[in-house]
Amino acid sequence: MKIPAILFFVIFSLNNLFAEAPEKIIQEINDIISGITSSTKMAIMIYDPLTQDTLVCINHTESMIPASNTKLFTTATALELMGGNHLLSTKILADDDEISDGIIEGNIYIKGFGNPSFSSEDLDKLVNQLYQFGLRKVTGNVVGDDTYFDNVYSRDDWISEERANVKLPPISALVIDRNRTIVTKKRRGKYRNYFVNVDNPPLFAAKKLREKLISYGVEVIGNSISGIADENARLLIESSIELRKLLKETNKSSDNFYAECLFKTLGSVYSGQQGNSFFSTQAILNYIEDNSIYSNGTKIVDGSGISRFDQVTAGALVGLLEKVYFNIKQFDDFFNSLSIAGVDGTLKKRMIGTAAENNFRGKTGTLNGVSSLAGYVTTANDDDLIVCIMFEFTSGGANKYKNIQDKIIEILAGWKN
């Protein structure tokens, strides 16, 4: 069943929702969405933040599955709490406060503070520097410490009745190589490499550090264990990523693992305690409340949007984007983290050759039967608009709805009085 065009105009002319938009634009958008069946849930909101005019408003208070548009709440809250300069670190510490003799008398620790990008290559650089500093012996154990977060590593364990289609490696404060390792197995007469999620991230990291130290010729007397760094342990060296860089990698590529690690970091920073999903959710809900963002129908259970239990309205997403738009401290870092139509990220192959190319900045969201898109577009009149278009569907396929989203944004980008 199609939405009758006449009914569409009657409903919205009565509510005066298109008063600020030219009739031609309204007609074009109406034509684009007129083929959508009644079984499809739809929400569209187009808003001018400078004039505060709502140009198009369809079901903007309808609670829907946002998919990866959830990351907009995660990353905006992170900027609010920490700022773009904030460093997420992986640190190597030691019991010994004097290692000029080349010996650590006691344990050496590797402790994570929410840096999800730390890799074997980064670890090699740190150990190489320690060796250059003269380190030759560790008398104690090599200890992996991930207590900056709780040890609830699986989203299925912190989200009640969660059965996500997308499985992630363990979400932990201490990460090496995305908490995955490569194993080689023989299949059909050939040896093949496979990524396998690690079971115990702090122990995995401790083993990697011990192996790396030994490979450089450092004698390690003790074993690899998981534990807690002594509160008086001395910082030897660290590797960090700036929050603004992490946001780019999280939003542009819609990196679910990074988003979930950042989600737990929010919990720790917000509470001043060990990061967990409860504190993380409270951090985001507090951000929504403090910024007077429309909150009815909003439910956040994770940082990435993988969960179908996440519920957000188009009004809430537009409200979020509006608040960031007027936040001088946050806007550049947030805006630069979004995918650019026709240029990079999840929008790299979309809207190419149109007025929206290298213009629209946004975040996509895709799950089975879900397609959402929200962001900023500049019209041919050089006016900035905030756009949110969400669909939940049972037929037609994701590409159909992505094409509808693209056509609407392309119309807006070419809009000229």
Residue 270, domain extent? 5-83+245-413
Pair (70, 101) in one structural domain: no
Segment among 148-162, 272-286, 335-349 with least mean pLDDT: 148-162
Domain limit, last residue, from 241, 264, 294: 241
pLDDT at res. 21 = 58
Which CATH number do you get for residue 318?
Answer: 3.40.710.10
Pair (50, 118) in one structural domain: no
Helical axes 5-14 vs 23-33, angle rounded to 10°: 130
Pair (216, 108) in one structural domain: yes
Pair (96, 199) in one structural domain: yes
Domain limit, last residue, from 206, 222, 241: 241
221 — pLDDT class (breaks 50, 70, 90):
very high
62-73: burial string, b at 16+ Cβ within 10 Å, e else: bbbbbbbbbbbb
Pair (206, 249) in one structural domain: no
Which CATH number do you get for residue 93?
Answer: 3.50.80.20
Structure tokens that stand for 283 in this block: 């951090």
Pair (367, 400) in one structural domain: yes
User: In the chain, how many domains are there?
Assistant: 2
Pair (76, 115) in one structural domain: no
First to last CA, the chain: 34
Question: At residue 94, what is the residue type?
Answer: A
Residue 12 has pLDDT above 80, yes or no: no
Rounded average pLDDT over 45-54: 95
Query: 123-126: which pairs have CB atoms within 8 A and are 24 or more residues apart?
Result: 123/176, 123/208, 123/209, 123/212, 123/239, 124/212, 125/239, 126/92, 126/237, 126/238, 126/239
pLDDT at res. 159 = 79
pTM of the full structure: 0.92
Pair (95, 222) in one structural domain: yes
Domain limit, last residue, from 221, 241, 261: 241
